[in-house]
Structures are given as C-alpha cells and as structure tokens.
C-alpha cells in the first residue's frame, strides 16, 4: 500500500502542486548549505521534548519576555527551525511519530492515551520499530527520563520499546510535587501515584519534577564512557498542566505580569535551566563535540481551561504568529520550536525556514549513527541532512489528523477539512485553504477562490487517509 501511496504523490494530478512547491523551495535551498563533513565517530544522541510549548515561549524565536538562555545558546550553536512540525497537535500521537518515524495514525497511538492506575493501557505495539530499539541494536546505551504517555501495558513501556533505563511516568501528566495523576471532571474520579525507576515504583515527593529530571539526566551523563555511544531521551512534562513553579523561577519575571503567563514562563525557565545543566555536563565530560542534541516541543501551547488560574480558556502559552492551539490543525497546534546541533555537520547560528516534521528524526538519527545503511522499511520519515544541504527536497506533502479534522500542506498551500473551534475564534467553514507564505496566520480562507486547488488537495488527502487507515468525515 505504501508503494501505491508514494506513486500517487507523483501522479499527474499532483503536478500542479509540485510546480508551486518548487518555486517556493528554490528560495529556501539556493542560499542554504549548512552542513559540512561527517564526524569520525559514532555520535551520542540527546533528544529533548517539552510539552504544550509554543514558538512564542522560546527566546530565540523572538519573544523578549521569555527567559531561555540555554535554548538560545543551543540555537546559536546549531540549526533553528522556523517551520518544524510535530506529527500531531497532541502529546501521545506526536511522541509516537518521534519514536517510530511513522505517521501517528500508522502506529496505533491516536490522540492522547488515557491514564489508568492498573498499568494496562495499550500504546506502542509489541515489536514496533523505534529509534531507541534500532540504536540499542547498534550498541548504544539508551535511557528515557520523564513523560512517556505511549502506553502503560507491559509491551508498550519504555524498556519494551528499546530503552535500557527509565525514570518517569506513564500518564499524560502529573502533579509537579506529589507525582500523582488526578482525574479531572465528573465521578468516579481517581488519584494514583505514577513515578517509576525501570519497573519499580519510587517516591520522591515533594521534589519538583522538572528538577528531578535534571538530576537524573546529569547523573546519567556523568556515568557514560566515551567508548560506548548513548541515547538520552529527556521528555519534560512542562509547561503542560499542572501549572506549578517554585518561587525562584517565578521571581525571574515581573510580579505585574499576568498570572498564567508568569507561571507558564517560570515553568519554561525551569526546563531551560535543566537543559543548561545537560549542555554543561556534556562539555565537562568532554562529550560536547561528539553528541548530537535535538530539541522540540510535542505540540503547541494549549487553550484548555484546566490550565488556567481563573477557570477560563488558558492564555499563558504563546504560539507566536500561528493561529490556533493544541488539539487543532491550524498551525498553532503543531508548528513548534525545534533546534538541532550536530557537531561537525551543522553550522552555528543557521536557520532553516522550510517545512520539516518529527517523523524525520528516526531516519536522520540512523543515518548519523550508521552511515550508509538504508533507512528501516515501513517508515514515513526521511533523513533531513541531505535536505539541509540542498541535495534533496523536503516531503512533497505533509498530512495531519485530529478527531474528525484532517489537514494537508503542499508547498505553501495548506488545506484543513473540518477546521478546529477555539474560544473567541469561531470557524463556520468546513474547508479552509491558506497560503502560508502570504498568510502565516491562516486568517484568510481562499477555498472559494481556488476550487481546483481544493479539489487536488482533497484527493491527495483522501489517498493519504486510505494509506494510514482513516476515513474523510
């Protein structure tokens, strides 16, 4: 089926879209060759993922009120992506694509998995191809610290999916101090503790979770030997609900700042401090020059009422100029901050301004760890290093689903079927077409004036849905 799907993208019907895409691609590649010679040794890999974190919540993306000096210095030493997309506007599905290199709908992990105290929630399937599992086979030591949310059933847990070590939780979120999951809403309700080291429950309250992850990450790095490569997957639960930050982080921001925004930025500042500790430890261990560091958010900032101090739609996070939020297919839901540093391959301070997507991480990491070996069969991502070097093109089309919404981006054109609704942003149209080059905020619907383009994109979207097993509603 995948072969038929790929061929359909090069059909005669797609040629008009490719023409527009190539025109916009030329500007992105002509002046951009940001890679140099390959490193001599197999690299270590550090992957950092934050939660509900918009592009307006990172200083190097242009917001002066944010305090992220360590993410900013990572960006100054590597490549900052201005059009990096997660594969979904919500956590579990987004993280499944990172792990597998596939569209989320093909992984069996759709939307946000439930959180249950019996540790039986299915997620990633037994025998799934994951990038930690592939690296493990190459002799890497592998560790996952933080939020998992990819299944709590035994076959779906981190140590069944390629990790040698795990410190973290299976649920969608935790209280930052008690490390317990609280069900919100109606009865019957549930409260359960959810913090584990490997397969053993551990108790660390009242330690602040973000700082606990920093402790674990730095200790792990300090144990590593330069004779064996390692993978560290560091997945924060911040700045996702529960919205909590110690006073020392809050004090970095004016007391006059709106309360939710101040708390949100304080949580981001705590994350940034931990990232700084990771970067400093790599340097101290003499591993900075042989360690790839990648950062991204799992999805954009949220509008959920549960995150607000006022019982209103949350306004503490910022998706910058993008329209929409988490749980929606306007760009604010999945257009996220991302930074990559590959010693000896990426040049300092570069910016890549064409679309890239999270499922590309698996083939990129494997190309770096095991050069010359073909990408694993059955994945949808592509190695982005040739793209950054101008030697190959990005994906012709990118696709998303969430609930009954579907979206496709082809070049600078983006079509959404059943666009999302958010407080103060009602949408009555069932089809929304934007040109993201001219209108990055997706404010103007061009569907009525571009019927042929809508038809072409809808047909491509239907083909993709058949490939991943969805129906157009």
- What does the alpha-carbon distance between residue 391 and residue 372 come to, in Å, rounded to a whole number? 16
Beta bridge partners of 141: 230
- What does the alpha-carbon distance between residue 83 and residue 70 come to, in Å, rounded to a whole number? 21
CATH code reported for the domain at 2-31+396-468: 3.30.1120.10
Residues 389-429: pLDDT tens digits?
Answer: 888 888 999 999 999 999 999 999 999 999 999 988 999 99
Neighbours of 263 (CB within 10 A): 21
Identify the pLDDT of residue 40.
Answer: 57
Angle of helix 2-9 relative to helix 451-468, nearest 10 degrees, comes to 170
- What does the alpha-carbon distance between residue 162 and residue 429 come to, in Å, rounded to a whole number? 44
Q: pLDDT tens string for the chain (473 positions)?
A: 444 344 333 343 343 344 443 444 344 443 344 554 444 579 999 999 999 999 999 999 999 999 999 999 999 999 999 999 999 999 999 999 999 999 999 999 999 999 999 999 999 999 999 999 999 999 999 999 999 999 999 999 999 999 999 999 999 999 999 999 998 766 778 999 999 999 999 999 999 999 999 999 999 999 999 999 999 999 999 999 999 999 999 999 999 999 999 999 999 999 999 999 999 999 999 999 999 999 999 999 999 999 999 999 999 999 999 999 999 999 999 999 999 999 999 999 999 999 999 999 999 999 999 999 999 999 999 999 999 988 888 899 999 999 999 999 999 999 999 999 998 899 999 999 999 999 999 999 999 999 999 999 999 999 999 999 997 65
Pairing of strands 200-201, 196-197: antiparallel
Active site positions, annotated:
91, 149
Identify the pLDDT of residue 29.
Answer: 40
Cis peptide leading into residue 198 (ω within 30°): no
Q: Which residues contact 230 (CB under 8 A, 6 or more apart)?
A: 44, 45, 140, 141, 142, 143, 220, 224
- Residue ranges of domains in the chain: 2-31+396-468, 44-388
DSSP 8-state secondary structure symbol assigned to residue 435: E
465 close to 472: Cβ distance less than 8 angstroms = yes
CATH code reported for the domain at 44-388: 3.40.720.10
Identify the pLDDT of residue 471.
Answer: 75
Same fold, 2-31+396-468 and 44-388: no
What pTM value is reported for the model?
A: 0.91
| Residue 197 vs residues 65, 157, 158, 182, 463: alpha-carbon distances, Å | 36, 12, 11, 21, 43
């Amino acid at each position: 089926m995948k072969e038929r799907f790929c061929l359909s993208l090069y059909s005669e019907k797609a040629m008009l879209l490719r023409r527009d895409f190539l025109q916009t691609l030329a500007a992105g590649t002509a002046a951009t060759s940001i890679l140099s010679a390959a490193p001599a040794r197999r690299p270590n890999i550090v992957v950092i993922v934050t939660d509900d974190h918009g592009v307006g919540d990172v200083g190097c993306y242009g917001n002066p009120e944010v305090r992220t000096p360590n993410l900013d210095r990572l960006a100054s030493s590597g490549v900052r992506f201005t059009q990096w997309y997660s594969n979904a506007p919500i956590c579990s599905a987004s993280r499944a694509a990172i792990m597998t290199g596939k569209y989320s709908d093909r992984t069996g992990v759709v939307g946000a998995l439930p959180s249950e105290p019996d540790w039986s929630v299915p997620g990633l399937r037994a025998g799934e191809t994951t990038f930690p599992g592939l690296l493990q086979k190459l002799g890497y030591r592998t560790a996952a610290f933080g939020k998992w949310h990819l299944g709590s059933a035994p076959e779906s847990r981190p140590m069944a999916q390629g990790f040698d070590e795990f410190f973290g939780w299976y649920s969608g979120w935790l209280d930052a101090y008690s490390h317990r999951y609280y069900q919100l809403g109606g009865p019957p309700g549930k409260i359960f503790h959810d913090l584990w080291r490997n397969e053993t429950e551990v108790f660390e309250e009242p330690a602040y979770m973000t700082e606990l992850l920093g402790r674990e990450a730095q200790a792990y790095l300090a144990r590593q030997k330069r004779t064996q490569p390692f993978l560290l997957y560091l997945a924060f639960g911040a700045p996702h609900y529960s919205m909590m930050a110690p006073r020392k982080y809050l004090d970095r921001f004016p007391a006059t700042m709106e309360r939710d925004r101040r708390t949100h930025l304080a949580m981001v500042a705590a994350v940034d401090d931990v990232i700084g500790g990771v970067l400093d430890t790599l340097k101290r261990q003499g591993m900075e020059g042989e360690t790839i560091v990648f950062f991204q958010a799992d999805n954009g900032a949220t509008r959920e009422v549960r995150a607000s101090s006022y019982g209103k739609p949350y306004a503490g996070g910022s998706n910058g100029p993008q329209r929409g939020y988490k749980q929606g297919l306007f760009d604010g839901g999945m257009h996220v901050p991302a930074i990559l540093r590959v010693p000896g391959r990426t040049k300092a301070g570069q910016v890549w301004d064409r679309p890239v997507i999270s499922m590309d991480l698996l083939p990129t990491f494997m190309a770096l760890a095991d050069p010359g070996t073909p990408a694993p069969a059955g994945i949808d991502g592509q190695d982005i290093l040739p793209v950054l070097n101008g030697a190959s093109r990005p994906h012709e089309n990118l696709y998303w689903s969430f609930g009954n919404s579907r979206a496709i981006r082809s070049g600078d054109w983006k079509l959404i079927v059943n666009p999302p609704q958010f407080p103060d942003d009602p949408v009555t149209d069932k089809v929304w077409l934007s040109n993201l080059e001219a209108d990055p905020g997706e404010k103007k619907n061009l569907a009525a004036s571009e019927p042929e383009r809508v038809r072409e994109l809808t047909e491509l979207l239907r083909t993709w849905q058949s490939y991943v097993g969805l129906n157009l509603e």
